[in-house]
Amino acid sequence: MAAAIPALAAQPASLVVVSRHRPDALLRAITGIGQMDHPCFELIVVADPAACAAVQALGLPVKLVAYDEPNISAARNLGLAQAASDVVAFLDDDAVPEPTWLSRLVAPFADERVVAAGGFVRGRNGISYQWRASMVDYLGQDQPLDVDHGAVSLHAGTAALAVKTQGTNCAFRRADLLAIGGFDPAYRFYLDEADVNLRLAARGGLTAIVPGAQVHHGYAASARRRGDRVPLSLHEIGASSMVFLRRHAPQRDWPAALATLRAGQRARALRHMVSGGLEPRQVAALLDSLERGLAEGRARPPPVSQPLLPDPPAFLALPGTGPRPGRLIAGYRRDRRALLHEARLVAAGGAIVTLLCLGLHARPHRQMFSPDGFWIQDGGLFGPADRSEPRLCRTTLARRADAEAQRLAPFRPVGPA
């Protein structure tokens, strides 16, 4: 169970969400963001013009920046330039945070030594972890980092080995991020956060790993991958990998690092081919796109540095956030329509709602956040939620609801089942 981490109610925060051509995912993320228990933060959205219009139609006070280029680092810098708080958090548009996420993520910045923080990320089924904690080295390769999953921990790094933060669940002290020039636009996608991690570590300061600050990340479809995570191109992975080596590694170490990269991406493509996601000819095309990206990365010039605004626009608080009650609604799949109706009504009243809708079987559970503003967990009454549980569990609906309430309570209010 994650330890209770106090919220910094008095410390404002800025939250940046970058989106491109995924308006439905963005609007769902904003719905989840509106349920944060942090009472004082501003929301900054950097997105294509159509998505900006969709957000504007919500009528919320949001700092909007129109940007329609495939460069997440440049987009994040535009968001950073708008941030009025000392701490700036980042969330992907295809992610939804737990209600306690932001307050927990920014809490470690009360320690002036902390320059960055990252939390845990749950994957597509909403239960299993996609990412917890790791280091990243000067070759761009992940290295293990053992942390206590029940407590915040602080870690130092170096220019060659830094604590890694995930772009969909991270925060930085604004002054420190500005001091290194923000994100490097040479990384249009991939390794952009790792580059920031190494540059910040070289300046000193600590990175906090906050297990209780959790987001759900679904990997929505994009120009680079399908919704089932099958890649459409490896070009930017190749280009960013080469840029990263040029920035951080001596040339004598490049051949081994590139061999590891090629082997890993080839194995990834072959796994998708074996599972039926790719045809053999598509595997060859993907690996060719990796090589083209590597070639471009060798020639990609250093980016022209764009000054980041030292004095951003005034803080623009997002209203309606802060602690709120929770409610867990449990029932059988045969009553799904009525259960969904009840969940919508309770969520519309301002509560954090978790709907447990189970069938009379033993299928594993999955969890997602509905665009209607509540969490849905489905699967079998007798099936596992956490994948470490037995595949068959003899129980009743009441006992199962109580068990799931206990599992979820460290991350969101659930109230009585």
pLDDT at 58 over 60: yes
CA-to-CA separations, 108 to 112, 125, 143, 171, 367, in angstroms, rounded: 9, 29, 23, 10, 28
pLDDT computed for residue 306 by the predictor: 60
**How high does pLDDT run on average in the chain?**
93
Q: How many CB atoms lie within 10 A of CB 66?
A: 14
Q: How many CB atoms lie within 10 A of CB 333?
A: 15
- The predicted-structure confidence for 186-224, as pLDDT tens digits, reads as follows 999 999 999 999 999 999 999 999 999 999 998 766 777
pLDDT at 122 over 90: yes
Superfamily for domain range 13-217: Spore Coat Polysaccharide Biosynthesis Protein SpsA; Chain A (3.90.550.10)
Q: How many CB atoms lie within 10 A of CB 396?
A: 9
pLDDT at 66 over 80: yes
pLDDT computed for residue 2 by the predictor: 33
> Which pTM does this prediction carry?
0.94
pLDDT-derived band at 1, boundaries 50, 70, 90: very low
pLDDT-derived band at 6, boundaries 50, 70, 90: very low
Angle between helices 49-56 and 23-33 (to 10 degrees): 40
Q: What percent of the chain has pLDDT over 90?
A: 87
Positions of CATH 3.90.550.10 in the chain: 13-217
- The predicted-structure confidence for 84-105, as pLDDT tens digits, reads as follows 999 999 999 999 999 999 999 9
Q: How confident is the model over 248-272, as a mean pLDDT? A: 96
Q: What percent of the chain has pLDDT over 70?
A: 94
Residue 352 · residue 324 · CB < 8 Å:
yes
